[in-house]
Amino acid sequence: MFAFVASLFGYSQNKKTELVLLAENHNPYYMKGVNLIEPFMALEGKTLNINSKAKDSITEGIRYLDAVTKINPNNYAAYWIKGKGYQSLKQHDNAYLEFQKSFELNKQNSDVARELMIECLHLGKGQVAVNVSLHALSLDSLNPGLIGNLALAYLINGDQNLAAEHIKEAIRIDPNDKINLTLSQIINDVITGKRNRPIKYDELALQS
């Protein structure tokens, strides 16, 4: 008796492990993918060094998680981790697609919404970023980081007054948040004409 088993192949200089799309492989492939990507994920306060070895690890991790989402297309966490991998590779179009799929599957997780919003800003999708940020705030309305994200989304979308209003609220909640303090200065400089309005996230320097 023959069974048709779908599989994924990957090649670089050497032939990589064949990934077989069976339910029993879902969990081990998921853990393998996470372990390959997690050390290189962009997280707050973490300095990244994405060298060629790191890129290979991330790429291989994404390959494992691609297999996971083929086995189980409803695994929102796998899409999220893939998005973080593409984010570290600065492949923002791909990161956006993965976070968008994760968000479609789980709209109740503010981390999912936040990462989608960031990728919207990398791609200059200001209005989408505003919409996603508003949704994230509906889940955690007093989070100063999420309020700051909304202010940034408004700024990139061209709504400087709303950006100023929300960054003031974020700083009122946490006066010591370095990222929001930097963003407040940027918003003020845009309003006063000292700098051009950014239209993408890469035009900012908001690292803490």
| Residues 26-41: tens digit of each pLDDT | 999 999 999 999 999 9
134 and 185 assigned to the same domain:
yes
147 and 75 assigned to the same domain:
no
Residue 128 lies in a domain: yes
117 and 202 assigned to the same domain:
yes
Structure confidence at residue 17 as a pLDDT band (50, 70, 90): confident
Beta carbons of 148 and 183 less than 8 angstroms apart: yes
Considering only residues 114 and 7, tell me which one the structure prediction assigns the higher pLDDT. 114
Residue 144 lies in a domain: yes
174 and 94 assigned to the same domain:
no
| Partners of 109 in beta bridges | none
Q: What is the model's pLDDT at position 47? A: 65
80 and 124 assigned to the same domain:
no
Residue 205 corresponds to which amino acid? A
185 and 100 assigned to the same domain:
no
Domain stop point among 106, 127, 160:
106
Average pLDDT over residues 108-124: 94
Query: pLDDT digits over 93-106, tens only?
Result: 999 999 999 999 99
Q: Please count the structural domains in the chain.
A: 2
Domain stop point among 72, 106, 140:
106
Domain stop point among 51, 85, 106:
106
CATH number for the domain including 204?
A: 1.25.40.10
Asked whether the predicted pLDDT for residue 3 surpasses 90, the reply is no
Q: Which two tokens stand for residue 124?
A: 């200059």
63 and 151 assigned to the same domain:
no
Average pLDDT over residues 45-72: 91
Q: What is the model's pLDDT at position 208? A: 45
The helix or strand, by DSSP H or E, that contains position 8, with its residue range, turns out to be strand 7-8
Boundaries of domain holding 71? 20-106
Average pLDDT over residues 61-87: 98
CA distances from 69 to 21, 22, 65, 78, 104 (A): 10, 11, 6, 7, 14
195 and 115 assigned to the same domain:
yes
Residue 100 lies in a domain: yes
100 and 114 assigned to the same domain:
no
Residue 116 lies in a domain: yes
Nearest 5°: CA angle at 48, between 68 and 79? Answer: 20
Distance CA 102, CA 119 (A): 13
Distance CA 185, CA 191 (A): 10
Residue 3 lies in a domain: no
Residue 9 lies in a domain: no
Query: pLDDT digits over 174-196, tens only?
Result: 999 999 999 999 999 999 999 99
96 and 150 assigned to the same domain:
no
- Residues in Cβ contact with 182 at an 8 Å cutoff, skipping those fewer than 6 apart: 205, 206
Average pLDDT over residues 145-163: 96
Distance CA 65, CA 60 (A): 9
- Residues in Cβ contact with 150 at an 8 Å cutoff, skipping those fewer than 6 apart: 130, 133, 134, 136, 137, 166
Residue 122 lies in a domain: yes
pTM across the whole model: 0.86
